[in-house]
């Protein structure tokens, strides 16, 4: 069994001069830094006084699931000689916030729209989403369902 390690630095950048002396007196802004990569400017969701122009943890969880699935999916398509020409996922997630303020994701749905080169590839292209879900490291790490509603079209028909 292989083990992989990851390191990230999250730095709060939202001190307006008085620290966290009051819930509304500080920004939720932060910077996510990983050595050798571009920094990501983050905040909380606007519902929790965050900056709507910055990525929030919920956005990042959703995109982590989507991109992990896509990368495995493209791998399996390549192995099975399915030529993918375009892949766009408009993923959605449902988070529940309890009265106490605690929250959790209830589910995520991936809605990939894929264009393959040939219509003969469509059935297997749809089937490979199940295999990608089985292998996705992020999907295997969450405790809620990750659903899939793929739409696959072809740019040409088999002759």
What CATH number should be reported for the domain holding residue 123? Answer: 3.30.300.20
- Our count of domains for the chain comes to 2
132 and 85 both lie in a single domain: yes
What 3-state class would DSSP assign to 94?
Answer: strand
Q: CA-to-CA distance for 36 and 39, rounded, in angstroms?
A: 9
| Residues 27, 102 share a domain | no
The answer as to whether 3 is a domain residue is no
Looking at the domain assignment, is residue 2 inside a domain?
no
> Does residue 17 sit in the same domain as residue 62?
no
- Residue 4 falls within a domain, yes or no? no
Query: Which domain does 29 fall in, by range?
Result: 9-48
Same domain for 32 and 64? no
pLDDT digits (tens, 9 = 90+) for 8-51: 999 999 999 988 889 888 999 999 999 999 999 999 999 999 99
Whether 1 maps to a domain, the answer reads no
Q: What is the pLDDT of residue 23?
A: 85
- The pLDDT score that the predictor gives to residue 159 is 53
> DSSP readout, 67-92?
HHHHHHHHHHHHHTT--EEEEEE--E
């Amino acid at each position: 069994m292989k083990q992989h390690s990851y390191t990230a630095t999250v730095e709060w950048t939202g001190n307006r001069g008085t620290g966290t002396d009051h819930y509304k007196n500080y920004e939720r802004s932060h910077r996510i830094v990983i050595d050798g990569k571009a920094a990501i400017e983050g905040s909380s969701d606007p519902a929790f006084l965050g900056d709507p122009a910055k990525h929030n943890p919920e956005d990042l969880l959703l995109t982590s699931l989507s991109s992990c699935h896509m990368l495995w999916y493209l791998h399996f398509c390549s192995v099975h000689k399915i030529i993918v020409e375009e892949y766009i996922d408009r993923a959605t997630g449902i988070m529940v916030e309890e009265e106490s303020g605690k929250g959790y994701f209830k589910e995520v749905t991936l809605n990939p729209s894929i264009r393959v080169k040939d219509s003969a590839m469509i059935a297997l292209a749809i089937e490979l989403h199940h295999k990608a879900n089985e292998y996705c490291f992020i999907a295997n790490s969450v405790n809620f369902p990750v659903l899939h509603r793929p739409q696959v079209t072809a740019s040409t028909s088999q002759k």
